């Protein structure tokens, strides 16, 4: 399994790849700080981008063929026609505006068609945590508070366990998941503080193993369903930010990277580019927002 550069557009902070379409071959991801949604097709090699008016932290597929964009003050529903509708966000969920500058961070669609959205703050606040947008898009609800940097998330193949990373706390949490609700939070992995490698985005494969990207770690690490490290995939760039399985057989791992953020900077010529890795492991398809 060797990473190769698949898309040479350099992202300041590339994040959140997701495979869409009947063949799971149209890949979307974001360049958060450059206010862009990028896309490329694994089969046709066609590519393009969507510019946003704000930092955009995630892009997710809709059942009607549109997209949900994690614009800083969103989320926003983007229709196939290009029309944008702002959906309920943090102010509606929390009853007030953000106390410090904040934006969405990683997000994913859940098994029941809802969207789970983490947050990142520029300043001290206990509001960093997790929100949930209902599957019909009518309501956003705060689920967790008091995190440091809410980041990568995914579900076990049977949909019964939800995983969530707190990057700054160096923790992976597991929760019981049922009917769009989470409970029984427990710390499943505590990462090594001395390594100065920070868990970022993640995906879960069809065997229930967790593939976790490490910021400042030059790697993705694969953990077993009982949270034992079983493999490490090395990259030439420092800031490996997220990953997702794609393609008809779901064996192509698409990996985003970053040039840097918050004082971090990678001088490598491939920093910020998007990689693919052909694996011998089958992933699982992303859930789609809405009914």
- Domain range annotation of the chain: 4-278
pLDDT in tens, 190-207: 999 999 999 999 999 999
Q: Which helix (H) or strand (E) holds 90?
A: helix 90-94
Mean pLDDT of 205-211: 98
Q: Which residue numbers are catalytic?
A: 200
pLDDT, the chain, mean: 96
Residue 8 predicted with pLDDT over 90: yes
pLDDT digits (tens, 9 = 90+) for 218-256: 999 999 999 999 999 999 999 999 999 999 999 999 999
pLDDT digits (tens, 9 = 90+) for 130-175: 999 999 999 999 999 999 999 999 999 999 999 999 999 999 999 9
In whole angstroms, what is the distance from residue 238 CA to residue 86 CA? 35
Class of domain 4-278: mainly beta
Q: What is the pLDDT of residue 65?
A: 87
Q: Is 257:276 a contact under the CB 8 Å cutoff?
A: no
Q: What is the DSSP string of 201-259?
A: EEEE-TTS-EEEEEETTTEEEEE-TT--EEEEEE-SSSBEEEEEEESTTS-EEEEEEBS
Q: How confident is the model at residue 291 (pLDDT cuts 50, 70, 90)?
A: low
């Amino acid at each position: 399994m060797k990473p190769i550069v698949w898309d040479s557009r350099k992202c300041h902070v590339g994040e959140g790849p997701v495979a869409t379409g009947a063949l799971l071959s149209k890949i979307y991801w974001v360049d958060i700080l450059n206010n862009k949604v990028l896309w490329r097709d694994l089969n046709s090699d066609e590519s393009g981008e969507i510019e946003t008016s704000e930092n955009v932290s995630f892009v997710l597929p809709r059942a009607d063929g549109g997209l949900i964009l994690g614009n800083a003050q969103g989320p926003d529903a983007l229709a196939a026609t290009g029309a944008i509708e702002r959906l309920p966000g943090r102010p509606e969920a929390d009853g007030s505006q953000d106390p410090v500058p904040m934006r969405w961070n990683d997000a994913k669609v859940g098994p029941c068609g809802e969207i789970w959205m983490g947050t990142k703050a520029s300043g001290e606040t206990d509001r960093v945590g997790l929100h949930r947008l209902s599957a019909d898009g009518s309501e956003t609800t705060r689920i967790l508070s008091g995190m440091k940097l809410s980041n990568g998330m995914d579900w076990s193949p049977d949909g019964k366990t939800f995983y969530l990373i707190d990057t700054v706390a160096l923790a992976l949490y597991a929760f019981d998941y049922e009917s769009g609700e989470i409970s029984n939070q427990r710390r499943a992995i505590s990462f090594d503080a001395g390594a100065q490698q920070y868990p970022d985005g993640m995906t879960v494969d069809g065997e229930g193993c967790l593939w976790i990207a490490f910021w400042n770690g030059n790697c993705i690490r694969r953990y077993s369903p009982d949270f034992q490290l079983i493999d490490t995939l090395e990259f030439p760039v420092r800031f490996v930010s997220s990953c997702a399985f794609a393609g008809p057989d779901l064996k192509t791992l698409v990996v985003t990277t970053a040039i840097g953020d918050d004082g971090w900077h990678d001088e490598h010529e491939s920093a910020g580019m998007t990689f693919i890795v052909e694996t011998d492991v089958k992933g699982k398809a992303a859930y789609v927002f809405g009914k």
